[in-house]
Structure 1
Amino acid sequence: MSHPFEELPNTPFGDELIDQAFSRAARAGRAKSGIDAQQSMLLTAANIISDNLENVVTGWPDFDALDPFYRDLADAIVSVDEMRKHLNEISWASEKATDIRHEYEGRLYDSDTDTARKLRKQAFARLADVVEEVESDLEAVMDARQELRDLPDIRPDEPTIVVAGYPNVGKSSFVNSVTRATNEEASYPFTTTGIQIGHITHEHIRYQLVDTPGLLDRPPEDRSEIEAQAVSALTHAADAVLVVLDPTGECGYPLDVQRELRDDIEGRFDAPVITVYNKLDRFAETPSVDRSDVDADADFLMSVVEGEHVDEVLQAAIDAVGYEPELPIDDR
């Protein structure tokens, strides 16, 4: 399965499209003579321009019909409203090229060869103007295509566990431990570091674990607008969230600050949030930590380094997802 932006169509530069249309038109004209040659050139050039522009527009998915995850993700990266404007302009240009063809076809039929040649040149000039008018729109769509088609493969229809928390609390170590090297590193346009995506299979169901450095590892006020939109996209994909905290303070963030981030995540995600305290093996070396306070706040305690309770945490996340595959109609 691929994401909806993986097969986006190539978008031509304006001057390339004009060159292609007029050179193909010249070849078509050489095969005929008189008014027929001018008609053939007009038809060829206008159709190439109109068809290519239409293909750019129809090759993009309907944003309103997308899974909310992908729609919000696209909005975070390229702005859906801006993309609609660019695509609408290109659609207008496609229709305008066809209108020009229709306008000049009748005039060519009613003229002599010399007049037909002049009219055809007028039509070519107008076609070129139309393409040049949407040149910036074509470039914007081209840039958007490049950014969106290389998105990592997070699948919102697959059971998804998002792993959150401040840097150096053990998120990546947990994902590495439970996925046993089945993870992948991939960069989103709105993060400074790669997002880690791991996969596990439990009772014949594949789950994806998503660790999102640069997004869910700092408070909301420190996120840019684009990053905030990306977090919104993740809320659509998450079926459960593991928030990992480091009670020892080795991560560089006080425990109360880590809890504030956890509270924000709980308020933002419409999914079960499990609070996991990592580095259980270091509690004895951290006398400033009130163990009873941690016990009262934690859903689970674990040590990824020592392998303590890691499997239990993973099973709790799977149970929280509560995913049941849809049975075929015959088996219901």
Structure 2
Amino acid sequence: MPAFEALQTVPRSGELVDKAFSRAARAGRAKEGIEAQESMLITAANILSDNLENVVTNWPDFDTVDPFYRELADAVCRDTEGVPGVDALRQNLSEVGWASRQIDELRSEYQGRIRRSGPDTARKVRKQAFARFADICDEVEDDLLALGEAREALKTLPDIRADEPAIVVAGYPNVGKSSFVNHVTNARNETASYPFTTTQIRVGHLTRERIRYQLVDTPGLLDQPADERNAIEQQAVSALTHLADAVLFVLDASGDCGYPIGAQLELRDELRERFAGAAAADEDAVPIVTVCNKSDRSRGIEADAYMSVTEDENVSGVLDLVVEAVGHEPELPFDG
């Protein structure tokens, strides 16, 4: 399951206050005098405090989220001042947690004051407490809105499993990337757009020797030089460096794609530096397999393999090659 798929809807501050005070009014009608005011106070405070706390605990610990999804959260949830998404979200969650604790503390304070009040002043004290509850909720209104917007964005991220080997398919447009992915995987691939950008990602799956592989096609993302990517796309590329077990770079030497072979090779070399450099710290550089597609029209470039998807020539051979490059070995249970 993606890291943020289970996030629940984040309530607005006004919705919370209306809900809490409405429930409190019903609780108060069941009693009289000081008991009625105390019951209203406790009901409203518990609803507000519990709901605010639930907002915080519903979010995952970003320190334990897979780096791929953490990088994407950084990209798609930057605040208006450009603060990375994870830092901004942590601040929002901290403020909401503070509000929950403040309301709980005020409940104890005003409960004591109501009990020490006479029948004529208990209602006034309870109304003072309600005003302070509403003020606290107003203080975190922007934080709740930011978390709600982030939730809407993050829940649409593609379903990519960090525990399954991933092959990232790259190359300029019209070189045959999507055709290859569609050819070797299930016909109906998952498609999702990154929030706040037109860039998409397509994920296909195939199984080899009981191991499920993910083929990740990224139109609009890994088909352009770095200086042409916006900030979100740059961050998404960074996220993919945490995900990829191998990169399949597709070239078109025939020229039919509309891009010169020199530009294609420059993009391949840029990605090779990016993925190899990102993995160097782990002493496990991501292999990049270069394949020349449309080989029935031209083989005028050095590559690790040649294929023609349209003619179904050596497609399975290319797949074998990139699966071998992944070198994934399943974890076996300890057999004693």
The CA distance in 1 between the partners of 2:305 and 2:13, in whole Å, is 58
Residues 48-70 of structure 1 show CA distances to partners (whole Å, capped at 9, x for unaligned) of: 00000000000000111111111
SS at match of 2:73: helix
Contact 2:221/2:229, CA 8 A, preserved across alignment: yes
Return the match for 2:140 from 134, 138, 151. 134
Note the aligned Cα RMSD (angstroms): 1.3
Q: Partner of 2:255 in structure 1?
A: 249
Q: Partner of 1:316 in structure 2?
A: 321
Q: CA deviation at 1:191?
A: 4.4
Counting only pairs closer than 5 Å after superposition, residues 216-227 of structure 1 correspond to structure 2 as 216-227=222-233
TM-score by length of 2: 0.93
Confirm whether residue 150 of structure 1 aligns to residue 165 of structure 2: no
Return the match for 1:202 from 191, 200, 208. 208
Q: Partner of 2:269 in structure 1?
A: 263
The CA distance in 2 between the partners of 1:305 and 1:326, in whole Å, is 37
Counting only pairs closer than 5 Å after superposition, residues 1-332 of structure 1 correspond to structure 2 as 2-78=1-77, 79-189=85-195, 191-269=197-275, 270=279, 271-283=286-298, 291=300, 294=301, 297-330=302-335
Q: CA deviation at 1:194?
A: 3.4
Question: Bigger CA drift: 50-59 or 150-159?
Answer: 150-159
Q: CA deviation at 1:234?
A: 0.9
Kindly tell me: are residues 190 and 273 of structure 1, through their superposed partners in 2, closer, same or farther at Cα, counting changes over 3 Å? Answer: farther
SS at match of 2:146: helix
Residues 263-316 of structure 1 show CA distances to partners (whole Å, capped at 9, x for unaligned) of: 011111131000111111112xxxxx8x3xx1xx31111111111111111001
SS at match of 1:208: strand
Task: Looking at secondary structure, tell me which structure has more helix per residue.
Answer: 1
Question: Bigger CA drift: 143-152 or 189-198?
Answer: 189-198
Q: CA deviation at 1:205?
A: 0.9
Aligned length: 320
Q: Partner of 2:81 in structure 1?
A: none
SS at match of 2:296: helix
Residues 71-94 of structure 1 show CA distances to partners (whole Å, capped at 9, x for unaligned) of: 111111111111111111111111
The CA distance in 2 between the partners of 1:107 and 1:132, in whole Å, is 24
Contact 2:251/2:292, CA 8 A, preserved across alignment: yes
The CA distance in 2 between the partners of 1:186 and 1:218, in whole Å, is 19
The CA distance in 2 between the partners of 1:249 and 1:113, in whole Å, is 88
Contact 1:191/1:214, CA 8 A, preserved across alignment: no
Kindly tell me: are residues 191 and 279 of structure 1, through their superposed partners in 2, closer, same or farther at Cα, counting changes over 3 Å? Answer: farther
The CA distance in 2 between the partners of 1:214 and 1:102, in whole Å, is 55
Q: CA deviation at 1:150?
A: 2.0
Unmatched runs of 5 consecutive residues or more in structure 1: 284-288
The one-letter code of the counterpart of 1:313 is V
Q: CA deviation at 1:22?
A: 0.4
TM-score by length of 1: 0.94
The CA distance in 1 between the partners of 2:318 and 2:108, in whole Å, is 68
